[in-house]
Amino acid sequence: MRLANNQVIWLQFDAPRDDLEQEYQNIKVYEEPLETDKAIIAAVVALETKPLGGERLQQAFLTHKVNEDVLKKASSVQESSLSKKSLTHLLRAWGDALRDSQQNDSMLHDANAGDELAAYGGMQTFHCIEDLLRCFRPEYDDLDRHEQAALVEATCARINDFHTALGKLVAFLEYGKPGKGKKGTAKKLKPGVENARRDIQAALLKDAEGLSFEEIAEKQGDRPAREANKDKNDHPTARGRYKRGRDMLQRAWGKEGYSERVEAMKAERKRRQNLNEEERLRESLAELVADSAGISTQNALPLIESDEPNENLDESSALLWAFIRSARKTWGSGS
């Protein structure tokens, strides 16, 4: 129950008696949720959310709310009248809603395609956070959107901490070793997969992008090399990572197989460099859609590039096409 100061307390009926003379069982008051409730919340957060952040998180959430409003209108259409044509016509209004929000919401005046992508990618997490907030704050839906956005952003920060802590616990259980650091804190875990990622990244930066070891070190956030190494564009740490990363990739695919993949990456890099900003955005959106929908990027691209829906699209694809088309119109990526 909620107190006058908005603090929530929990009550347990049939709690143990205060003493032997008490003739009825107690009602116990807790200032924190029961352990079972916290366990349920932890499981929901672990399963239904992912870390979200960035300077424009509130804008992404507000864009998500605009999208949600349009989806509610779509869900109000009677099932018997559903068709690809009616759905696409209805969701073409998406672009109008996004443009209206840019004009009427001060926080969305500078909204961009990145906000729409972040809203799409964070949809499930935003839904989960709002459900949790409604559970603990019945007045949540009465708040204005900016207040909601601030609450969601603060909740995201704590969810990010939760995922980090959970990841550290799992990592320690898997391979961690007890010990004390210089300041009496637990030793910082350095997961093998983290080292592998850095080593492989170093190999790709060298072989696919042609960076020097000094440039690789700078990109990976290492300290500058000594003057003697600087003259040679060398950096021992980056060089060591490169050798380990290349060795892993060659063991995975063989020397010839890795060389073929490097050449393919070089060609892809050159092709990508020749794309204009609109083409890059379109391709990135296709990759995001493909990953979320479980389809290939090649199958997602026609949905994004098409100005009219293909008559052979199923209803879910038609919905997706309408969303993409509206977003393209709003952000100036389509006619």
Domain boundaries, the chain: 1-32, 39-91+107-174, 192-273, 277-330
pLDDT of residue 298: 77
pLDDT of residue 26: 86
Torsion from C-alpha of 216, 220, 224, 229, nearest 10 degrees: -30
Instruction: Please give the Cα distance from 102 to 109 (Å, whole number).
Output: 5
- State the pLDDT confidence band at 251, using cuts at 50, 70 and 90: very high
pLDDT of residue 161: 96
Instruction: Please give the Cα distance from 26 to 95 (Å, whole number).
Output: 58
Torsion from C-alpha of 294, 308, 102, 275, nearest 10 degrees: 70
Which has the closest alpha carbon to 88: 74, 98, 75?
74
Residue type, 196: A
Q: Which tokens hold the place of 17?
A: 């008696």
Residue type, 9: I
pLDDT of residue 27: 85
Compute φ and ψ for 191, nearest 5 degrees: -55, 145
Instruction: Please give the Cα distance from 36 to 243 (Å, whole number).
Output: 49
Instruction: Please give the Cα distance from 42 to 3 (Å, whole number).
Output: 24
- pLDDT at 160 > cutoff 90: yes
pLDDT of residue 24: 82
pLDDT per residue over 10-50, tens digit each? 787 888 888 878 778 888 887 777 788 889 999 999 999 99
**3-state SS class at 23:** coil
* Positive/negative CA dihedral, 168, 128, 47, 35: positive
